[in-house]
Amino acid sequence: MTAMEIGKEVAALCKQGKNQDAIDRFYAPNVVSIEACAMPGMERTQKGIQAIKDKNQWWVDNHEIHGGSVDGPYPHDDRFILHFKYDVTPKQTGQRITLDETGLYTVQNGKVVKEEFFYSM
């Protein structure tokens, strides 16, 4: 699959709230994930599919998700960007916020090998 084809599939699954399914289907075993900043109790960079799945589960477990949207993919050679907006309440603070985040995904051999997230804090 091309980066654009994978981007469309990942976006479609994320729109349905099936982010874990996207990871299972389209991520390489040795995938690397880099956040703009470290999440509580985690390093900024996570390596390996299980670490990425655990990070994603941590996010779901620590936020009440009221809604969201996913735009894209915006392709560029072996990469694509997805734009996420989430209406959430972090359980740590209890304050409802809007998260505006962009993810840059790199594809090799039909799998996502790297994801990088950009957002303001």
pTM of the predicted protein model = 0.94
User: 3: Cβ–Cβ under 8 A, 6 or more apart, which residues?
Assistant: 73, 75, 77, 78, 79, 80, 105, 107
Q: Band the pLDDT of 52: cuts 50, 70, 90.
A: very high
Residue type, 26: F
Between CA 66 and CA 68 the distance in angstroms is 7
Q: What is the pLDDT of residues 65-114, one digit of tens each?
A: 999 999 999 999 999 999 999 999 999 999 999 999 999 999 999 999 99
Question: What's the CATH number of domain 3-118, 3.60.140.10, 1.10.10.10, 3.40.30.10, 3.10.450.50?
Answer: 3.10.450.50
4: region left, alpha or beta (phi > 0 left; psi from -120 to 50 alpha):
alpha
Write down the mean pLDDT value for the chain. Answer: 95
End-to-end CA distance of the chain: 34
